[in-house]
Each structure stands twice: as C-alpha cells, then as structure tokens.
C-alpha cells in the first residue's frame, strides 16, 4: 500500500464519537455513534457537539451522565417550585378594547411573560409560553407554560379592558 492510498483510506474511513447534544439523523446525547471522518473532525468536534470516543472519553462518559442527571434533577426541582407557585392562579392582562369587547391587536406570549413577572414575580422566557388559541376578545383563556419536558403548567389568564 503506497502513501497515497493510505491517506485515502484514512480520509474516507469512519470514526466513533460520543455525542454531546442531540443531533437529528445522527443520534441522541451521550450516544456513541459512527460517522464519516470528515464530518466528525471538521464539523461535530470543532462545534463542540461531539468528542472522539477513545478509551479515556468512554470512561468519562459514565461520570458525565451521572453529573448531568444530578443537574437535571436540581433543575426539575426548581421548575416544579415555579409550577406549584403558578398553579391555580389567574393572571390579569389589560388591553384596549372596542365597545363590542374586541381588543385592538391580540394578546401574545410577550405580554403574558411580562404579566407573570409583574404580578407573581416569576421570570419565564416568552418562548416557553404557548397560547393554544388566538386571543382577540375580552375574556378568560388558558396558556401552557413548558418549563421543562417533564414540567408543564397551565395558567388561566383574564383579558380585561384597560
């Protein structure tokens, strides 16, 4: 085998890596997968999405999983406190409305996030708040707050005239 063919074999061979994040069509976090050498060395590893699955890193994988499980448990406990604090509460959101009860514009997750901070001193990112229906009139509605994949809370909010 000459030098060129050895280089070609290295260049196009596959490598085992440990994923540090979920990657669509590749694998889940902490999974050991085989990818093309170039994809691993030129994209996944420099982007800190994966590490080489050598013996040292394979041994560290169990430690990493345990540490991350503890962090997740702490995070879930914090989110559960927030969910318990919001359970059964009704949020009041003021809006300008016409005589028929239709509001000008609509209520968005940004308004709900700021109302949560003002009324209950709970800071929730707006992207975690889902409003299942469009809010265009005065009345009572529900919003879903997805704090974590294991912790969700439904909150009632009332749109009142300012």
In tens, the pLDDT along 7-20 reads 555 556 789 999 99
Residue ranges of the domains in the chain?
3-76, 83-161
Q: What is the pLDDT of residues 86-103, one digit of tens each?
A: 888 899 998 888 888 888
How much is the pLDDT for 9? 54
| Confidence (pLDDT) at 33 | 94
Enumerate residues 6+ apart whose C-beta is below 8 A from 133.
141
Helices (H) and strands (E) in the chain, counts: 4, 7
pLDDT of amino acid 16: 93
Return the pLDDT at 162: 81
Q: Give residue 82's pLDDT.
A: 87
Residue 125 has pLDDT above 60, yes or no: yes
Greater pLDDT, 2 or 32: 32
DSSP secondary structure, 58-123, as one string? HHHHHHHHHHHHHHHHHHHHHHHHHHHHHTT-EEEEEE-B-TTSBBSS---HHHHHHHHHHHH---
Cα(3)–Cα(152) distance, rounded to whole angstroms?
Answer: 59
Give yes or no for residue 140 having a pLDDT over 70.
Answer: yes
pLDDT digits (tens, 9 = 90+) for 42-100: 999 999 999 999 999 988 888 888 888 899 899 999 989 988 888 888 999 988 888 88
pTM here is 0.65
Instruction: Please give the average per-residue pLDDT across 31-40, as a whole number.
Output: 92
Mean pLDDT confidence for 23-29: 90
3-class DSSP state of 7: helix
pLDDT for the residue 118: 92
Would you say domain 3-76 falls under CATH 3.40.50.10860?
Answer: no
CATH code of the domain occupying 83-161: 3.10.430.100
């Amino acid at each position: 085998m000459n030098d060129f063919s050895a280089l070609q074999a290295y260049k196009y061979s596959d490598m085992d890596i440990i994923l540090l994040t979920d990657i669509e069509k590749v694998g889940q976090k902490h999974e050991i997968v085989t990818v093309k050498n170039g994809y691993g060395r030129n994209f996944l590893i420099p982007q800190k999405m994966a590490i080489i699955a050598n013996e040292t890193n394979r041994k560290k994988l169990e430690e990493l999983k345990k540490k991350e499980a503890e962090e997740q448990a702490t995070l879930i406990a914090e989110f559960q406190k927030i969910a318990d604090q919001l359970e059964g509460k009704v949020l009041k959101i003021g809006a300008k409305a016409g005589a028929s009860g239709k509001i000008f514009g609509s209520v968005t997750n940004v308004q709900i996030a700021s109302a949560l901070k003002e009324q209950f001193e709970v800071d929730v990112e707006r992207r975690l708040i889902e409003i299942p229906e469009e809010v265009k009139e005065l009345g009572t509605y529900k919003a879903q707050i997805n704090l974590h994949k294991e912790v969700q809370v439904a909150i009632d909010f009332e749109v009142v005239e300012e």
